[in-house]
């Protein structure tokens, strides 16, 4: 084993670790030890993890090392957002009400990871029930800035080289926003693109699975293993791509660094030969924010009702508010909002008839200094409601040197293809 391997395995990509493991040039134990060492050195400050059990992580690695490889990610560690059930670790949903809660079975996606031989490294800190109220996780690029919510620990741990991969989720902007703030690659799957079995829903028609890594190729590999579908080969040349640019109906939320990022990305892609065109949201999208709010509020009040009734008094103020008001949205308004979303999905389908993918901001700007307020998911909510794959590429920097992502969005169900095109685009913007 080369000397670097023992000490710096934690900084390597999942794809690189896969190669080393496959060639017998690294062991899962060495990789997990390297990640644990980084966590032990840094997490008192960063607070990215809700639960780490050193012995349990190493026991998994020791079990994986002598086995035949179950997948290319056999032996590679991954962090799990603490809203996903694990039979061997507590799942607290970031909530005092569920502190130490021990589910009896894995969520489907966690079971699929174990089956593929991944090592479940630990549980990543999440906001309470993935609501948008921050919980004190740091941003590795500047501890005084937000890592984004709600998959805060999942994004921060990958950004800080504590784990090569992590699992998150997105109901508003919970994957793409933290990926942009922390300067990692974040992938929000199509609504049903990855197994949601066993998932404790917040909003069933919005809750999407999220994956984090430091390279797009790692997302392609992990998504392929978890979805059971082959990865798509990225095109050799960006000139084959038809790329739409979408400022969205929320463009007024864009900070200067986001304006520069989108302009620069479009310019760079055009310069590299891609066919870059306008892909603005047509007028049917004008009130889509209201429809998102109706759907989110109605579904949130329904799915959280029993837990909020039982434990509301200990919950954050966002959930307290839900306890006070319940849902004031009647079935007719909910129905109308869903029909509006479907109309927008159709209109977006027409745009995707002439664009392979859309590029659009990942976030309003670089990570905010506000460590307590609700972060603005203006460039995420609408895309979550559209149900298609989204991927944030960490291509730019803001005025304070913080990362600024660019988001690549594809049609519903085209997850593998969208990842492949994002990989190609990432190559141009890098």
Note the residues at the interface with its own copies (CB under 8 A): 101-106, 108, 111-112, 114-115, 191-192, 195-201, 204-205, 207, 224, 228-230, 298-299, 302-303, 305-306, 331-332, 334-335, 338, 342, 413
Q: Which two tokens stand for residue 120?
A: 């479940």
Q: How far is the CB of 15 from its own copies (least distance, A)?
A: 18
Q: How many CB atoms lie within 10 A of CB 306?
A: 9
Complex with its own copies: residue 175 or 297, whichever CB lies closer:
297
Which residue, 197 or 282, has its beta carbon nearer to its own copies?
197
Q: How far is the CB of 253 from its own copies (least distance, A)?
A: 30
Catalytic residue among 81, 92, 123, 224: 81
Q: Closer CB to its own copies, residue 232 or residue 272?
A: 232
Give yes or no: 92 in active site: no
Q: Which is nearer to its own copies, 46 or 329 (CB)?
A: 329
Radius of gyration of the chain (CA): 20
Q: Which is nearer to its own copies, 303 or 320 (CB)?
A: 303
Nearer to its own copies, 235 or 413 (CB): 413
Q: How far is the CB of 103 from its own copies (least distance, A)?
A: 6
**Candidates 18, 28, 34, 150; catalytic one:** 150
Contacts 24+ apart (CB under 8 A), 315-322: 315/95, 315/96, 315/97, 315/128, 315/129, 316/127, 316/128, 316/131, 316/133, 317/133, 318/128, 318/131, 318/132, 318/133, 318/374, 319/128, 319/129, 319/131
Per the annotation, the verdict on 81 as an active-site residue is yes
Q: Is the separation of the CB atoms in 414 and 191 below 8 Å?
A: no
**Helix, strand, or coil here: 154?**
helix
CB of 220 to its own copies, least distance (A): 13
CA–CA distance, 381 with 361 (Å, rounded to integer): 12
Catalytic residue status for 150: yes
| Shortest CB 46 distance to its own copies, Å | 30
Instruction: Kindly state the tokens that stand for 19.
Output: 């190669």
Quote the DSSP letter at residue 235.
P
Secondary structure letter of residue 252 according to DSSP: G
Contact 263, 353 (CB under 8 A): no
CA 418, 199, 289: angle at the middle one, nearest 5?
60
Pairwise CA distance, residues 294 & 65, whole Å = 49
Q: Provide the token pair at 256.
A: 């200067």
Is-contact 366 257, C-beta < 8 A? yes
Residue 80 CA to residue 70 CA, distance in Å, equals 20
Closest by CA to 209, choosing from 201, 19, 139, is: 201
Taking the complex as a whole, how short is the minimal distance between the CB of residue 372 and its own copies, in angstroms?
29
Q: Which residues of 140-171 are buried (b: 16+ CB within 10 A; e: fewer)?
A: bbbeebbbbbbbbbbbbbbbbbbbbbbbbbbb
Closest CB to its own copies among residues 87, 251: 87
Q: How far is the CB of 381 from its own copies (least distance, A)?
A: 19
Give me the least distance between CB of 389 and its own copies, in Å please: 15
C-alpha distances in Å from residue 293, one per residue of 201, 298, 334, 343, 385: 17, 8, 10, 16, 10
Query: In terms of CB distance, is 19 or 303 closer to its own copies?
Result: 303
Of 107, 146, 154, 174, the active-site residue reads 174
Q: Kindly provide the b/e burial profile for residues 12-41, where b requires at least 16 CB atoms within 10 angstroms of the residue's own CB.
A: bbbbbbbebbeeeebbbbbbbbbbbebbee
In the bound state with its own copies, the residue whose beta carbon lies nearer, of 207 and 257, is: 207
Minimum distance from residue 326 beta carbon to its own copies (Å)? 10
Backbone angles phi, psi at 159, to 5 degrees: -65, -30
Q: Which residues are catalytic?
A: 81, 150, 174
């Amino acid at each position: 084993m080369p000397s670097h391997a023992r000490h710096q395995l934690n900084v390597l990509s999942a794809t690189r670790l896969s190669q080393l493991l496959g060639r017998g040039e690294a062991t899962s134990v060495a990789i997990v030890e390297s990640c644990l060492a980084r966590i032990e050195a840094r997490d008192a400050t960063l607070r990215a993890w809700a639960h780490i059990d050193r012995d349990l992580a190493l026991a998994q690695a020791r079990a994986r090392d002598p086995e035949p490889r179950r997948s290319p990610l056999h032996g590679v560690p991954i962090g799990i957002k603490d809203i996903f059930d694990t039979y061997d670790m507590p799942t607290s949903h970031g909530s005092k009400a569920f502190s130490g809660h021990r589910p009896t079975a894995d969520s489907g996606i966690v079971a699929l990871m174990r089956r593929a031989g991944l090592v479940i490294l630990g549980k990543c800190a999440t906001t309470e029930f993935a609501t948008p109220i921050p919980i004190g996780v740091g941003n590795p690029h500047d501890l005084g800035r937000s890592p984004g919510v709600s998959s805060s620990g999942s994004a921060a741990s990958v950004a800080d080289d504590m784990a090569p991969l992590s699992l998150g989720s997105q109901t508003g902007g919970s994957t793409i926003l933290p990926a942009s703030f922390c300067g990692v690659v974040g992938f929000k799957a199509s609504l049903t693109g990855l197994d949601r079995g066993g998932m404790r829903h917040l909003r069933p028609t919005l809750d999407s699975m999220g994956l984090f890594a430091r390279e797009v190729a790692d997302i392609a590999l992990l998504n392929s293993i978890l979805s059971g579908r082959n990865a798509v080969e990225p095109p050799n040349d960006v000139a084959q791509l038809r790329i739409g640019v979408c400022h969205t109906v929320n463009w007024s939320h864009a900070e200067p660094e986001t304006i520069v990022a989108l302009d620069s990305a479009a310019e760079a892609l055009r310069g590299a030969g891609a066919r870059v065109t306008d892909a603005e949201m047509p007028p049917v999208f004008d009130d889509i924010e209201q429809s998102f709010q109706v759907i989110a509020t109605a579904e949130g009040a329904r799915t959280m009702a029993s837990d909020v009734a039982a434990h509301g008094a200990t919950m954050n103020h966002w959930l307290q508010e839900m306890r006070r008001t319940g849902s004031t949205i009647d079935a007719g308004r909910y129905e109308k909002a869903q029909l509006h979303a479907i109309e927008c999905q159709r209109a977006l389908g027409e745009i995707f008839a002439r664009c392979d993918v859309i590029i659009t901001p990942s976030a309003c700007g670089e990570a905010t200094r506000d460590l307590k307020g609700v972060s603005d998911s203006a460039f995420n909510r609408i895309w979550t409601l559209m149900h298609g794959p989204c991927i944030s590429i960490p291509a730019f920097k803001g005025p304070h040197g913080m990362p600024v992502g660019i988001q690549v969005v594809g049609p519903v169900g085209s997850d593998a293809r969208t990842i492949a095109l994002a990989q190609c685009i990432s190559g141009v913007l890098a």
